[in-house]
Structure 1
């Protein structure tokens, strides 16, 4: 017997089987219709998104490109022919000795035999006398439509006798240099015109690696060229372009002629000024550098308002802190800047900075390295009081310093430092008044390096004769006796920490001993 529940189950099974059979008997086109419809809708959505994204690029290029200009710099030089007198005896030409140019001249024997005039007439390229013009090409961007201010690179306009500015609408203007700053490779040029386009300045402090970057300029003379990439890195230093570097790295194509043009974000704001490329071929290889626009803003303000750039100044000699130095100073920081010397009558001296302080914060912001601190101080307004946090003997201390103006002739890092220690392959002697006078040293205490053995740890660490050692393992040494005592009391596992003075600057150096 089949109960009611089983009957209900069989009926439902029959209905499901019947419906499934109907579905299987339908044509294949009918069964795929719904799936294809869904796929087509998905494709349309993807295409719409791509078109919208593409439209964003179109809009920002249309917004910025009119403000990007081509800059032609013209240098004029005069060429005159120098007539040389024929020697009286071309076969036995008397001479007091070859000049440096003659020594490197592979044709010297031919000249002596035939004479300079004969040789130059047939072998040396000759140009008519007169004025000649050499043209250079770069880019720039108008950032003030009313006053006609253009930002570009210093190396684009440097030593130019004439500047021709060409806009995207083919208008041409004579450009005038308002001011330049070779230490950042920034220049401001001015043109006089009506209805000038301009681009908006952004905030380079907010950019992040991986964001879009668009470069616009005149590579190889191809005006109004646009290339797209991303922000590859920030805070790049030691590029070798300028004295103050905090570069944005990008893989947007940058080539000769792009210099001075803008690097733009997805909002159409200028975040940098393209200035250099890393290349082995002379062209684009995926690594370009731009000056952050926030640095440019400060330079431009000074050049426009004062005609020169003024920079903040602490008056300290600094070096990067590494794990070895951190261990010697009994700290665990991996970032920061070590103060190795303090200049007399400087803001740092008045504020109470001490040799051995490790700068970890400036105005509440962490300090990464020497380049970071130098740039930050330089961009701070002269006369402003700032708070600097340092580690002194392992403890945090906050100092308030009123920044001075950096002397115009001051731009030098401390020279290479010198190490020493027991069995390091060096000899020291007491600093006498006569020795100090002969070496031009104003110090009255310390020990002088009198000999360095080639290949020794001292030599490998760039110890040189004449270096003055002022401290050993943070202890002042006035003579050889104190020097030896400080060495014997040191921790050989940490090595020997020396404060060495060479020239005007002092620097900390760690020398690893051979003893373990």
Structure 2
């Protein structure tokens, strides 16, 4: 190996290897996007938002960003700018976030949770001016707030089309994490159309891996063309800080909300009047669907648009106005964005067949639903599913708001029912597509089932109804 030939060969090989590595590195670097132009163009339109609220609570530790972060549960966290311990004024709550200018005359978009309930809002511009802002309107459902400052000739962002986003695209965030204005972070779109929070069921969130932290809330998410495609809103974290999963509100949703707030002072949403749930594999088998998917209807509002269109409990909604409904979370944003009064079309699956129904979209009313807690019945009846039920009393029906139908579960003896998380106190409204109004009717329907049959039970618990799929085990069949 000490022969001059081997030395020269080794040197030549290493030289070629180093050259190839440098060339590959140069080619890789050349493929990476350059964010400098995007940032220089848009940074002047990004603002810092400070809000002060007269606290009605005894302790500031109740708010994210203050106090011990270890006390904050592992949930989706909203972003409030952290106030150092001991520096938060007594009787006040301070929150901070980001925002961006959408019109030269001073309209600004941010998150509702940044300014919610605020008595005073201050906006700090890129030139360090601090101006008082007026809250034009807010919408809790989409977490959008529209602000207005008294200024003119302001720099503005360009608005993009969030419906064209695809997983894998580069995106850039600019905001004020921890109060550090105009901080730039980047990443890719991880997923689109995420629905996870019933309080914001009308928002098909954009999931990214862009580093987002407290103070980024309300800031813009840009595509590589320098257009705003989303508003950074939430993270998933068990520490209070960034853990690789961030969520943004699509700009299409935000601009629709903004326009309605400017014109009407509130937001109107479409509604068809159904309660829905996902279709899992067991449910698909019981329903005769070729695959899991769609939104399973477990309740239809009396007199609502869906009832008038002929939708029934047990139907699976597969499409709305030509758009596929992959899961139940897909339907609310699509219907919510449809103007009330619009004539639309539902594609549904019923009894092994696909059909289309014409529906006139109604308007979502403002209000809060209550809940009922059923009393537990006294004497059980048995059935082959391993579920003991009893007729509802008049008092129980009154508590539940039920005029007719339903039996009360008093005990669970079957393994299949236990795996389905059924429990005493649940109300069974339907077995398959048949309503049951007595224990006799329920037991009769259950006895008709054969071993390995799959059946859907419509269950009411508190004020929520949902379908549960059960497969009859051989040991429990009769």
TM-score (normalised: structure 1): 0.74
Q: 1:73 aligns with which of 51, 57, 61?
A: 51
1:154–1:411 distance in 2 versus 1, CA, 3 Å: farther
Contact 2:208-2:247 at 8 Å conserved across structures? yes
Alpha-carbon separation, structure 2, partners of 1:413 and 1:335: 29
Residue matched to 2:408: 448
Shift of 1:154: 0.8
Q: 1:436 aligns with which of 397, 401, 406?
A: 397
Contact 1:323-1:334 at 8 Å conserved across structures? yes
Alpha-carbon separation, structure 2, partners of 1:366 and 1:79: 46
Shift of 1:278: 2.0
Residue matched to 2:256: 298
Alpha-carbon separation, structure 1, partners of 2:220 and 2:163: 16
Shift of 1:64: 1.2
1:281–1:503 distance in 2 versus 1, CA, 3 Å: closer
Contact 2:387-2:414 at 8 Å conserved across structures? no
Shift of 1:171: 2.1
Residue matched to 1:360: 318
**Structure 2 residue 148 is the aligned partner of structure 1 residue 187:** no
Contact 1:431-1:444 at 8 Å conserved across structures? no
Alpha-carbon separation, structure 2, partners of 1:430 and 1:78: 47
Alpha-carbon separation, structure 2, partners of 1:333 and 1:293: 32
Residue matched to 1:118: none
Q: Secondary structure at the match of 2:248?
A: strand
Residue matched to 1:426: 387
Contact 1:414-1:505 at 8 Å conserved across structures? no
Residue matched to 2:349: 391
Shift of 1:429: 2.6
Contact 1:487-1:496 at 8 Å conserved across structures? no
Alpha-carbon separation, structure 2, partners of 1:415 and 1:366: 36
1:133–1:45 distance in 2 versus 1, CA, 3 Å: closer
Q: Secondary structure at the match of 1:175?
A: strand
Worse overlay, 301-310 or 491-500: 491-500
CA-to-aligned-CA distance 1:475-501 (integer Å, 9 cap, x gap): 233333332221121233134422233
1:475–1:401 distance in 2 versus 1, CA, 3 Å: same
Worse overlay, 285-294 or 471-480: 471-480
CA-to-aligned-CA distance 1:268-323 (integer Å, 9 cap, x gap): 01111011122233222222111111111221121111111111111111111111
Residue matched to 1:107: none
1:412–1:372 distance in 2 versus 1, CA, 3 Å: farther
Q: 1:479 aligns with which of 428, 433, 438?
A: 438
Contact 1:320-1:337 at 8 Å conserved across structures? yes
Residue matched to 1:271: 229
Alpha-carbon separation, structure 1, partners of 2:332 and 2:373: 16
Alpha-carbon separation, structure 2, partners of 1:246 and 1:74: 30
Q: Secondary structure at the match of 2:326?
A: coil
Matches for 1:49-198 after TM superposition, within 5 Å: 56-76=34-54, 133-146=92-105, 148-198=106-156
Q: Secondary structure at the match of 2:437?
A: coil
Shift of 1:329: 1.2
1:422–1:177 distance in 2 versus 1, CA, 3 Å: same
Residue matched to 2:62: none
TM-score (normalised: structure 2): 0.80
CA-to-aligned-CA distance 1:323-350 (integer Å, 9 cap, x gap): 1111111121321011112111101111
Shift of 1:405: 0.7
Contact 1:65-1:216 at 8 Å conserved across structures? yes
Contact 1:358-1:391 at 8 Å conserved across structures? yes
Q: Secondary structure at the match of 1:409?
A: coil
Contact 1:445-1:479 at 8 Å conserved across structures? yes
Shift of 1:505: 4.8
Larger Rg belongs to: 1
**Structure 2 residue 304 is the aligned partner of structure 1 residue 346:** yes
Q: Secondary structure at the match of 1:407?
A: coil
Alpha-carbon separation, structure 2, partners of 1:465 and 1:144: 57
CA-to-aligned-CA distance 1:120-156 (integer Å, 9 cap, x gap): xxxxxxx9xx97554322100111113x211111111
Residue matched to 1:84: none
Shift of 1:172: 2.0
Shift of 1:165: 0.6
Q: For structure 2, which runs of at least 5 residues remain unmatched after alignment? A: 1-7, 59-85, 375-380
Alpha-carbon separation, structure 2, partners of 1:320 and 1:45: 47
Contact 1:414-1:506 at 8 Å conserved across structures? no
Residue matched to 2:273: 315
Shift of 1:191: 1.0
CA-to-aligned-CA distance 1:51-78 (integer Å, 9 cap, x gap): 7966x42111112111100011122459
**Structure 2 residue 178 is the aligned partner of structure 1 residue 200:** no
Q: For structure 1, which runs of at least 5 residues remain unmatched after alignment? A: 1-27, 81-126
Query: With CA pairs under 8 Å and 6+ residues apart, which has the higher RCO, 1 or 2?
Result: 2
CA-to-aligned-CA distance 1:158-207 (integer Å, 9 cap, x gap): 12111111111212211111111112211111112121011011111111
Alpha-carbon separation, structure 2, partners of 1:133 and 1:502: 40
CA-to-aligned-CA distance 1:186-234 (integer Å, 9 cap, x gap): 1111112121011011111111111111010001111011111111222
